[in-house]
Amino acid sequence: MKHLLVCLSFGLTLVLSGCGPKAFTDGAYDDPNRVELMDDKFNEADMQQMAKTIVDAIIDCPDIQESRTRPKIAVSTVQNRTEEYPDLDALTEMIQVDLSKSRKVQFIDRGSRGELDEEYEYSRSGRVSKETQKKAGKQIGVDYLLKGALATNVQQVGNDKLIYYILTMQLTNLETSAIDCTEKVEVRKKYRKKSLGIF
């Protein structure tokens, strides 16, 4: 009887320890280019695939190719038309980095304009030497706004689920308001629901 109680106590301890909160403690570096679908959400593989297609399309755009100077681009908004919360800032940053590396275009930092105004004001305060003082009035004008939208369509029948993403991006000419370059990327994924066992 005593032996049985010890075994039951030990077994109960194991069960309770298995029911406690889990922590991710066994980690390892992974290849960021390897596609692994952990769940049915928008992921980094989708982002990489979309960014590459958009970058290639902009580089091949005739208005970009035939420009005598590097067109100046400012990133506008990418609308989220999905039911998820994808990191669209990371997507546009990925596009921006790869386009900048191509040396075909040049990006204008719209987000820092307020900080730049503060620096101009500080330069005029008398604390900065005249030799190194930077003055307003020499910023470069924007040629294009990069904007777009991410949409999705989800279909579920029985245990099968189809997810269709479409990203549309465009370069809007600031002077003419014409869309000089546009591209769309489609990603379609299929999932099958599986029952999860206890063990």
- For residue 169, tell me if it sits in a domain: yes
- For residue 46, tell me if it sits in a domain: yes
Tell me the per-residue pLDDT of 70-96, one tens digit each, with 9 for 90 and over. Answer: 999 999 989 999 999 999 999 999 999
- For residue 58, tell me if it sits in a domain: yes
Distance CA 60, CA 103 (A): 13
Domain that holds residue 119: 40-127+141-192
pTM to 2 decimals? Answer: 0.76
The CATH number covering residue 46 comes to 3.40.50.10610
- For residue 118, tell me if it sits in a domain: yes
* DSSP H or E stretch at residue 164: strand 160-173
Number of folded domains that form the chain:
1
What distances in angstroms separate CA 48 from CA 42, 135, 141, 154, one per listed residue? 11, 39, 30, 21
- For residue 14, tell me if it sits in a domain: no
* DSSP H or E stretch at residue 161: strand 160-173
- For residue 74, tell me if it sits in a domain: yes
Count CA atoms closer than 13 A to 31's CA, side-chain side.
Answer: 4
**Helices 44-60 & 88-102 angle (0-180, nearest 10):** 40
- For residue 16, tell me if it sits in a domain: no
Tell me the per-residue pLDDT of 32-85, one tens digit each, with 9 for 90 and over. Answer: 565 555 567 888 889 999 999 999 999 999 999 999 999 999 999 899 999 999
- For residue 24, tell me if it sits in a domain: no
